[in-house]
Amino acid sequence: MADLIVVSFPDEATGFELRAELIKLQKEYLLEIEDAVVVTRTADGEVKLHQEVNLTAAGAVGGAFWGLLIGVVFLNPLLGVAAGAGAGALSGALTDLGVNDKFMKEMGGSLAPGGSQVFILLRKVTGDKVLERLEAFRAKGKVLQTSLTRDDEASLRALLEDNALPLAGGAEEGAPV
């Protein structure tokens, strides 16, 4: 089961910094991210989703490879590449993994222009170690929504929202943050 965490920041840079730090933590096997999206709102009110993985591009590359391979077998590699890239791009564009885009855009509508929200879908996390590593984000954000346990949510809120409160002892190794 995955846990959803939505955090809001008054600026765009902090949202991107948090996502970058979470990706570093994943490379160190301290957490397992299913999806991490930064949502921003422009001055004219447009809500933008900044996905970590561009599924359309990934689908086009994969489709081009398979199209080339099939094209070589049937003696028309260029047609195979074109057809494969088109089919892969379409497949990638229609695939929505992780957090629902419509949900993120709706929540992003409440953002002030220039602000950001980070939507994180976590499968697994070593809570106490992750909270220690996120100390640089102390009192910089606001937790909008989580599916965490009460203790884990309180620990996260204590870190991100109020620098006067000590971290709660609820985050255990293997437990969600």
pLDDT per residue, tens digit, the chain (177 aa), is 788 999 999 999 999 999 999 999 999 999 998 889 999 999 888 999 998 754 434 444 555 555 555 655 665 666 555 555 555 554 444 444 578 889 999 999 999 999 999 999 988 888 788 989 999 999 999 999 998 889 988 999 999 997 554 444 444 444 444
Q: Is residue 15 part of a domain?
A: yes
Residues 22, 11 share a domain? yes
Say whether pTM exceeds 0.75. no
Q: Is residue 105 part of a domain?
A: yes
Say how many domains are in the chain: 2
Q: Is residue 168 part of a domain?
A: no
The residue segments making up the domain with residue 69 are 55-94
DSSP string over 27-57: HTTSEEEEEEEEEEE-TTS-EEEE-SS-HHH
Q: How far is CA 154 from the centre of its chain?
A: 21
Residues 147, 106 share a domain? yes
